[in-house]
């Protein structure tokens, strides 16, 4: 769509949002040209900063009226280019929708606006002994709206579940600009479940009702050092196979440890080729018993050093290295790709060995830091962007890692979403029929394809192009068979 056709929508936005909430200045627009995945960039035609659901709805209605695509953006920490703007569209940023609207401890729930950060929810209820369980490493800055769109996870989702397990209801603005509620208590189809993880393609979340969880009284954190990832991987399988469900099992390999040490001096055991962080929570006796078992399993799997955090300060020190790892890698490499894939836990040792082979074959270093407990790999593929061809080789290795995930029966994404970056890999997991079926869901919410178009699906199509879907009269109605339903 040529830029001038946005003149009228922009005029309308200024009218009901006020001029201070509509950005068209090219320099300011550049702030929004990418999310955490910086190699996809596009400057939006206009950015709007609504302060309420009604304002979001009004913006979306104008978009619908004029056939203008729109993209929601929270904090822009996404790692799959989900919030990548459209040069011919509107970027709807939720950063001014940051109110915690209510906290209801008796019913263990809070209602918040979509721009509230993940950690702010916990901070609001921590003193009362509660927290919001899903804990992406980006939790200090990422928004709950973004978490909903990505069905975000985190280190403790192994035991406590992902965003989808902690969102009880949503208020959304549909792609037609209507404000509707979706609730876990609704009978019929699970539309709440369909919306969570839909990456902004089914509308915009404007209120989120989250479950609040009682903070565990007893938490024990164990750091185990191995000579390499293979033995660490064996320990992970043996722990879960032994019937123990830690709240977190995270693994870092030698390169990730090197980066974390350089950045935050986390003092992991010297000579470690891999470390496992195993966290246990629950009643005192249960935690003590499980700690004994995990210690035994780690030793039997070849751990040469084991350290249990004695107090919250030591626990924080153990986690510091892990939580800083993504950013820390920037210290040992000028550029890197953060990959996200899943493999069955039992395949971890083999897949990690294959990643190592790929890395050596292509002369590209790969640091592994990941949620080992649920087989969610986060290989960090390092390269020097000044070296000709290095970026292409890194891309190749990164793609081959996803091939491995699929070959082993896993997934091309664990928690970072498909976005724009991985839409081309969707065909590795899904047939054309599968994708057409998914597109039917999309079309039911957004028949005009205006809500975050170009994301998730490899071959964006209009709803009329999906087999079996026609605009206007449904084929069953046309043929007279609809009465049978």
Write out the residues near ligand FAD by the rule CB under 6 A. Answer: 35-36, 71-79, 82-83, 94, 114, 136-138, 142-143, 145-147, 149-150, 152-154, 199-200, 204-205, 326-327, 415-416, 452
- Detail the DSSP E strand segments found in 351-470: 366-371, 376-377, 379-383
Cα–Cα distance, 227 to 253 (Å, whole number) = 9
Q: How far is the CB of 378 from ligand FAD (least distance, A)?
A: 8
Nearer to ligand FAD (CB atom), residue 44 or residue 82? 82
Q: How far is the CB of 416 from ligand FAD (least distance, A)?
A: 5
Distances in Å between the Cα of 160 and the Cα atoms of 30, 132, 135, 163, 417 are 38, 10, 10, 10, 20
Q: How far is the CB of 152 from ligand FAD (least distance, A)?
A: 3
Residue in this structure with the two tokens 């800083």, named with its chain if needed: 324
Nearer to ligand FAD (CB atom), residue 48 or residue 303? 48
Cα–Cα distance, 380 to 377 (Å, whole number) = 9
Residue of 78, 69, 62, 61 whose CA lies nearest to 45: 69
Nearer to ligand FAD (CB atom), residue 101 or residue 482? 101
Q: How far is the CB of 174 from ligand FAD (least distance, A)?
A: 11
Nearer to ligand FAD (CB atom), residue 415 or residue 421? 415
Cα–Cα distance, 290 to 246 (Å, whole number) = 8
Q: Please enumerate, as own/partner, the contacts of 354-362 that have beta carbons within 8 Å and a separation of 24 or more.
A: 354/404, 355/379, 355/401, 355/404, 356/229, 358/397, 358/400, 358/401, 358/404, 359/397, 362/393, 362/396, 362/397
Q: Which helix (H) or strand (E) holds 220?
A: strand 219-226
Q: How far is the CB of 430 from ligand FAD (least distance, A)?
A: 19
Nearer to ligand FAD (CB atom), residue 157 or residue 278? 157
Using CB positions, name the residue nearest to ligand FAD.
146
Q: How far is the CB of 269 from ligand FAD (least distance, A)?
A: 24
Cα–Cα distance, 426 to 485 (Å, whole number) = 33
Q: How far is the CB of 40 from ligand FAD (least distance, A)?
A: 12
Q: How far is the CB of 363 from ligand FAD (least distance, A)?
A: 26
Nearer to ligand FAD (CB atom), residue 38 or residue 427? 38
| Tokens of residue 55, six digits | 């304002």
DSSP assignment string, 311-346: SHHHHHHHHHHHHHHHHHGGGT-SEEEE--EE--GG
Cα–Cα distance, 120 to 178 (Å, whole number) = 28
Nearer to ligand FAD (CB atom), residue 52 or residue 128? 52
Nearer to ligand FAD (CB atom), residue 114 or residue 349? 114
């Amino acid at each position: 769509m040529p830029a001038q056709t946005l003149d009228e929508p922009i005029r309308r936005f200024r009218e009901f949002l006020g001029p201070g909430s509509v950005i068209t200045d090219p320099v300011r627009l550049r702030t929004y040209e990418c999310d955490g995945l910086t190699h996809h960039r596009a400057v939006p035609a206009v950015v709007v900063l609504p302060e309420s659901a009604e304002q979001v709805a009004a913006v979306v209605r104008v978009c619908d009226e004029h056939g203008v695509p729109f993209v929601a953006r929270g904090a822009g920490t996404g790692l799959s280019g989900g919030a990548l703007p459209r040069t011919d569209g509107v970027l709807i940023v939720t950063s001014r929708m940051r109110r915690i609207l209510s906290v209801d401890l008796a019913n263990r729930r809070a209602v918040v606006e979509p721009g509230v950060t993940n950690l702010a929810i916990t901070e609001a209820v921590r003193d009362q002994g509660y927290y919001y369980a899903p804990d992406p490493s980006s939790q200090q800055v990422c928004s709950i709206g973004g978490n909903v769109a990505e069905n975000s996870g985190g280190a403790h989702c192994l035991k406590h579940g992902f965003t989808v397990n902690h969102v009880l209801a949503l208020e959304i603005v549909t792609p037609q600009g209507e404000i509707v509620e979706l609730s876990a208590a609704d009978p019929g189809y699970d539309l709440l479940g369909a919306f969570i993880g839909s990456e902004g393609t089914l509308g915009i979340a404007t209120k989120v009702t989250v479950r609040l969880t009682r903070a565990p009284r007893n938490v024990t954190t164990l750091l185990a050092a191995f000579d390499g990832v293979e033995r660490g991987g064996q320990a992970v399988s043996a722990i879960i196979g032994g019937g123990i469900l830690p709240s977190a099992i995270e693994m870092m390999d030698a390169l990730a440890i090197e980066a974390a040490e350089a950045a935050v001096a986390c003092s992991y055991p010297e000579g470690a080729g891999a470390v496992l962080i195993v966290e246990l929570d629950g009643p005192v006796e249960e935690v003590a018993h499980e700690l004994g078992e995990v210690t035994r399993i780690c030793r039997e799997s070849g751990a040469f050093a084991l350290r249990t955090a004695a107090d919250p300060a030591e626990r924080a020190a153990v986690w510091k290295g892990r939580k800083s790892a993504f950013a820390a890698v920037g210290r040992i490499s000028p550029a890197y790709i953060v990959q996200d894939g899943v493999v069955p836990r039992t395949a971890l040792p083999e897949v990690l060995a294959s990643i190592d082979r790929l890395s050596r074959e292509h002369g590209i270093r790969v640091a592994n830091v990941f949620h080992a407990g649920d087989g969610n790999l986060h290989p960090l593929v390092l390269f020097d962007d000044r070296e000709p061809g290095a970026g292409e080789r890194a891309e190749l290795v990164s793609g081959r890692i996803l091939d491995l995930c699929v070959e082993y029966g896993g997934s091309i994404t664990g928690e970072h979403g498909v976005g724009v970056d991985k839409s081309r890999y969707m065909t590795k997991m899904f047939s054309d029929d599968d994708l057409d079926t998914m597109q039917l869901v999309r079309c039911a919410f957004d028949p005009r394809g205006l809500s975050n178009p170009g994301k998730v699906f490899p071959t964006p199509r209009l709803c009329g192009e999906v087999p079996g879907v026609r605009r206007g009269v449904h084929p069953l109605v046309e043929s007279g068979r609809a009465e049978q339903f």
